[in-house]
Amino acid sequence: MIPMNSNLFDSTSAAQAEKLGSLLPEWIAEIEREKLFQLFVPKRFGGLGLTLSQGLMVEEKLAKSDGSLGWTVTLCAGALWFVGFLDQKLIKEIFPNPKLCFAGSGHVGGRAEKTEKGYRISGHWNYASGALHATHLTANCEIWENGKQVMDSKGEPMVHAFILKKEEVKILDSWHYMGMIATGSYAFKCEDIDVPFQRAFQILPESATLKDSIFQYPFLQLAEATLAVNILGITLHLQELIRETFRKRNEKKHFSEKQLAYANKHFENTAVQLGEVKVALYGAVEKSWSELEREGVIKDNTLQEVSNASRALVQVARTCNASIYPLAGFEATKSDSELNRVWRDFNTVSQHSLLTFPF
């Protein structure tokens, strides 16, 4: 679908990106050329205008090439999905721009005090994947007015998201984890910056300022599905590496027929299980998209199918990877091996709180 230069995203360059702690400059150039940060931005604003399933296939492919690559594109494309909820004047101001990249945090880490011209914002936000490459950061803030916190109709603190310019915030070197190192998922902060009203928005279907179907798709299921396909892509890569490593071990150790049968059975079983949950996820997404296109809304039970399929995929990936990991031997523990890097990426990204539980 997207004619990406796959030669750029090989194991050698992935290792270089991890050492750098950031996506490589040539990767960013290719991403911008192919508009990968703008998967869901409508074509009329310079994006690719993909459907959800189309976007998922691209994200899975990228994650299979490299976990940090797929994750960064996914999170930044997800942040730019917010275009559907922005003020129309702001959209015209910043689109189209092939170098445009949003990054952000789902954490409500800020306070926005209402002023005559907009909001005065201070806060600290964690885990902004792609922050090093972003032109803008999205930040969730609780709303205050006249020194008092504003509550919504349910009595909960009112929260708005805001678009902050890169130069308005300070990026903090805070991503020190064992995997997904090249995502540069840094924190950021700001103090007493004035932001006009038009840079505030809310991520609710009724708040969408663009009527394209992609912006009527509920954010929770969109997020669950996009994260799940990243875990799928990384898992497919990891399993390929484990099978190849076992093959090389067998050339030296000459495992017995019983041992080979054991290994092959596990390889076959994990491939079948992963294939089944992949089909289930894409099927659930297609069903939900068809409902949205046909009826203008997605039924609650259909959305639950998407959530269930996303979570089931992650659970199966965890189980399958754990079952064949021992077959890789000590190669899996070498800190500078491709297998170890992909294993670390999987065991980092699969910790995401959105998909922790199977329900």
Tokens describing residue 238 = 């990891």
Coil vs helix vs strand at 212: coil
CATH of 99-207, one of 1.10.150.80, 2.40.110.10, 3.40.50.2020, 3.40.50.300: 2.40.110.10
Q: What is d(CA 178, CA 266) in angstroms, rounded to the nearest whole number?
A: 27
Q: How many CB atoms lie within 10 A of CB 133?
A: 21
CATH of 6-85, one of 1.10.540.10, 3.30.230.70, 1.10.730.10, 3.40.50.620: 1.10.540.10
Q: Is residue 120 within 8 Å of 193, Cβ to Cβ?
A: yes
User: E-assigned strands of the chain?
Assistant: 102-114, 118-128, 136-145, 148-149, 159-165, 170-172, 186-196, 200-201
Q: What is d(CA 278, CA 147) in angstroms, rounded to the nearest whole number?
A: 50
Q: What is d(CA 115, CA 117) in angstroms, rounded to the nearest whole number?
A: 5
**Per-block average pLDDT, block size 10, for the chain (359 residues)?**
69 96 96 97 98 98 97 98 97 96 95 97 97 96 96 94 98 96 96 97 92 96 98 98 97 96 98 98 98 97 98 97 96 93 97 91
Q: How many CB atoms lie within 10 A of CB 253?
A: 11
CATH of 217-355, one of 3.40.50.1370, 1.20.140.10, 3.50.30.30, 2.40.30.10: 1.20.140.10
Output the pTM of the full model: 0.95
Same CATH topology for 99-207 and 217-355: the answer is no
User: What is the pLDDT, as a whole number, of residue 359?
Assistant: 87
**What separation in angstroms does the CA of 192 have from each of 111, 119, 156, 330?**
9, 9, 24, 52
Give domain limits for the chain: 6-85, 99-207, 217-355
